[in-house]
Amino acid sequence: MQLFQKIFHSSFSIIPKIRLYLDLGTTNTRIAIENKGLLLNEPTCIGLNKQTNQYIFYGKEAKTIIGKTPDFIKIIKPLSSGVIVDFDGTVALLKYFIGKAVQPYLVNYRVIKPTISVIATVPICATEIEKKAVIECLQKAGCSEIIIINKTLATATGSGANINSHTPCLTVDLGGGLIEIGIVSGGGVIAYRVIKNAGEVMNKLVMNYAYLKNGIILGESTCDELKINLLRFNQENTTLAVRGKSLENGLPKSIKMSTNDINEALLTSFNQITDMIKEIVEFVQPEIVEEIYKNGIYLSGNLAKVPNINDFFQKELDINTNLVETYGDTTITGLSKLGQNKEMLFQLNESF
């Protein structure tokens, strides 16, 4: 309430304001500016020089050097399963990302420096402490006005739903840190389930699979590459040669992995998602189920880029599946849309 009032009152102030939308994802961070659209989409990754205690690599650059740095440089992913696990790293990264996104617009404000107001999404499963951590990080990163809203509502809006209508929408956001399944209707979330076994954990499962089956130690980026290039739910069977370290002697070793390997390594994860969708559908009222069956489910998140993933869910669940082709940008698209209605933002912030 206080936060919203601050925003509302300051709209009459002479101090100019830049309004940002932020989707702080476990794998990627997106920032949009009001009336300007999406301006930044970079990996949630930062590099720390442990000797000087200074952050020296950010976003894309930090991601490209994972596994290739000397010992005194540590590449940190400051979020895990959708929540902040490294406070200082998150502050430094947000400061850098916000600076980068607003930089081109600062020339318009030569006389008075604008304040930054931000509307950020936070996963529905976040605790009060985790929500507070997001707010504190944003304050330390230089934002003077902060509103947080439930990420599931933004994702549903980005998927094309009118969250205020009484037509339920079942969204499945397949992200890097969380698989978030939510049923949204009448301005709120009716039911939700969250699975932490998402894209980042799947990379670890690929790593374990190669370790046990091929006796090879693969790097995190290699496993991500294998998942992105080989995982598919069609008949295609592709192979990819990768390099790692032999488990026997620690020397470089190269192996070929196939679609069948990756599918086998990750099938349990995808079965867990179908089980959760079934569970949430069983949990809600029959009227809602009927509407959901009529409209289908909405798949978003970058993991939804896996070829034919919609066919997989359609077959397993016997329900229409709509692929939201903004994929990982669905949440920020929905958030920017929600941000246009200040009255509604107030209500959403209040109820979260």
Ligand X SMILES: Nc1ncnc2c1ncn2[C@@H]1O[C@H](COP(=O)(O)OP(=O)(O)OP(=O)(O)O)[C@@H](O)[C@H]1O
Q: Give the interface with Mg ion as residue ranges (CB under 5 A).
A: 25, 175
Q: Which two tokens stand for residue 77?
A: 């992913």
Least Cβ distance, residue 332 to Mg ion (angstroms): 9
Binding region for ligand X (CB under 6 A) out of 67-75, 105-113, 173-181, 265-273: 173-181
Q: For residues 211-230, which are near ligand X according to CB under 6 A?
A: 224, 227-228
Locus of tokens 């509302």: 8
Cα separation, 7 vs 286, in Å, equals: 41
End-to-end alpha carbon distance in the chain:
11
25 vs 47 by CB, closer to Mg ion: 25
**Least distance CB 175 / ligand X (angstroms):** 2
Say whether residue 26 binds ligand X (CB under 6 A): yes
Which one of ligand X, Mg ion, none is in contact with 244 (Cβ closer than 5 to 8 A by kind)?
Answer: none
Q: Which residues of 132-162 are buried (b: 16+ CB within 10 A; e: fewer)?
A: ebbbebbeebebbbbbbbbbbbbbbbbbbbe
Q: 212 and 218 in contact (C-beta within 8 Å)? A: no
State the nearest-atom distance from the C-beta of 43 to Mg ion, in Å.
12
Query: At 16, is the secondary structure helix, strand, or coil?
Result: coil
Q: Interface with ligand X by CB under 6 A: which range of 66-74, 164-172, 252-260, 303-311? A: 303-311
From the list ligand X, Mg ion, none, pick the one residue 281 interacts with, judged by a Cβ distance below 5 to 8 Å according to partner type: none
Q: Which of residues 228-257 bind ligand X (CB under 6 A)?
A: 228, 231
Q: How far apart are CA 174 and CA 315, in angstroms?
A: 18
Q: Which helix (H) or strand (E) holds 32?
A: strand 28-33
Verify binding: residue 47, ligand X, rule CB under 6 A.
no
Give the nearest distance from C-beta 91 to ligand X in angstroms.
18
CB nearer to ligand X: pick between 61 and 225: 225
β-pairing, 115-122 with 17-24?
parallel
- Say how many residues touch ligand X, by CB under 6 A: 22
Choices 19-27, 48-56, 96-104, 250-258 (CB under 6 A): range interacting with ligand X? 19-27
Chain mean position to CA 167? 25
DSSP 14: S
- 301 to each of 12, 154, 265, how far by Cα in Å? 37, 12, 20
Decide: is 334 part of the binding site for ligand X (CB under 6 A): no
Q: Which of Mg ion, ligand X, none does residue 227 bind (CB under 5 to 8 Å by kind)?
A: ligand X
* Per-residue x/- track, 48-87, ligand X (CB under 6 A): ----------------------------------x-----
Please state, in angstroms and rounded to a whole number, the distance separating the CA atoms of residues 337 and 96: 25
Residue 27 touches which member of Mg ion, ligand X, none, C-beta under 5-8 Å by kind:
ligand X
Type of residue found at 240: L
The set of residues, in sequence order, having a beta carbon less than 8 Å from that of 70 and lying 6+ positions away, is: none
* CA angle 272–275–279, rounded 5-degree value: 135
Nearest distance in Å: CB 194, Mg ion: 12
Q: How far is the CB of 304 from ligand X (least distance, A)?
A: 8
Site membership for ligand X, residue 89 (CB under 6 A): no
Binding site for ligand X (CB under 6 A): 25-28, 82, 175-178, 198-200, 224, 227-228, 231, 301-303, 305-306, 328
